[in-house]
């Protein structure tokens, strides 16, 4: 005749296994985050930042700034971009 499994031991094993898996996922996340920060421009690199947006007639004008703080104007209708 077999005996019933020890539920306490099984629960401890499952919790330990879950801890190992979570630690592994966290470690992979930290490594990936470090590699992204090491790329040119870093993690917080933004291509453009919207300063303002307004409608003029049927066109939508948007003022943007680039990483070098250069300001540009973009029209929504035809997608053209001009730099002052």
Q: Characterise 3 by phi-psi region: left (phi > 0), alpha (psi -120 to 50), beta (else).
A: beta
pLDDT of residue 51: 79
Each residue's pLDDT tens digit, 6-54: 899 899 999 999 999 999 999 999 888 777 665 555 555 567 777 788 8
Each residue's pLDDT tens digit, 60-79: 777 877 777 777 777 766 65
Q: How far apart are CA 56 and CA 63, in angstroms?
A: 13
The size of the chain, in residues, is 84
pLDDT of residue 83: 57
pLDDT of residue 16: 97
Beta strands in 7-75 (DSSP E): 49-56, 59-65, 71-75
pTM recorded for the entire structure: 0.42
């Amino acid at each position: 005749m077999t005996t019933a499994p020890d539920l306490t031991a099984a629960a401890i094993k499952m919790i330990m296994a879950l801890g190992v898996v979570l630690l592994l996922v966290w470690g992979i996340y930290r490594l990936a985050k470090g590699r992204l920060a090491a790329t040119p421009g870093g993690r917080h690199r933004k291509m453009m930042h919207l300063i303002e947006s307004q409608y003029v007639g049927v066109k939508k004008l948007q003022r943007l700034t680039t990483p070098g703080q250069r300001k540009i104007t973009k029209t929504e209708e035809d997608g053209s971009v001009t730099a002052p």
